[in-house]
Amino acid sequence: MFWRKKIAVVSLKGSIGGGINPQATVRLLDGLSKNGKIRAVVLNIDSPGGGAGPSETLYMAVARLSQKKPVVAYFEGMGASGAYEMAIPATRIVAPRSALIGSIGVISAKLSLKGLLERWGINLTFIKSGEHKDMLAPHRELTKEEEMMVQKTTDELYEDFISRVSESRHLPPGKVREMATGEVFSGRVARDYGLVDENGDLNLAIEIASKLSGVPSHRVVYVSPGRSLLQMVMEPWF
């Protein structure tokens, strides 16, 4: 019957800000946190990550959810950069041995069209109220001072990332720093390093959620940020 307790499997595929809509995902996760019919959540993730801000927002949403009920993160093919950050507050993390995990690091980029504009004879005039207000605009290069400013911000975000991994995965900061080179690891190596808990498939992730919540593993409902909680709750409950 529809009132039976269930495990929700949330599909999160694509880049954060692309295939994964941060605002819709936060609404869904917060809704699942308050839904008494859902006793555990499995996050089915396959993502290369995304921007630092949206990734942190999703990290906080998963952290809130995991404080209320068991959350198992499963990396179907890739859990890199912001996607890995998003998942680390989960109660447990599962990934196939062949999955690509990690890419702990931060990158900042700026597009420069200065040479192209000069070649075409295009001149742009900016009226600004601060010396560095146009530092990320594409019409010019960064000054040395601005490069240092961007690097400082990038380093701050990097340290925050390391701190979250260390706290969530119960790993010494020094060990996380050794792994935080931006490289990705196979699921097997990620397990050896403590970045994931188990190597396995989605069925294993559901079984772990079942054991943590006491809900039989066949009582599963599949949801995504594009579907309403009403649609989810009104599905047949087996």
Instruction: List residues with catalytic annotation.
Output: 81, 133
Q: Are 82 and 51 in contact (CB under 8 A)?
A: yes
The CA dihedral of 86, 96, 175, 107, to the nearest 10 degrees, is -50
**Long-range pairs, 134-138, Cβ under 8 A, ≥24:** 136/110, 138/110, 138/111, 138/112, 138/113, 138/114
Q: How far apart are the first and last CA of the chain?
A: 6
DSSP H helices, the chain, are 22-34, 52-68, 82-87, 114-120, 144-169, 173-179, 187-193, 202-213, 229-233
Where do the H-state alpha helices sit in 69-201? Answer: 82-87, 114-120, 144-169, 173-179, 187-193
The length of the chain in residues reads 238
Angle at 189 (CA atoms; ends 89, 76), nearest 5 degrees: 60
Residue type, 195: L
Would you state the structure tokens that stand for residue 176, as one six-digit string? 């996380």
Angstrom distance (rounded) from CA 46 to CA 87: 11
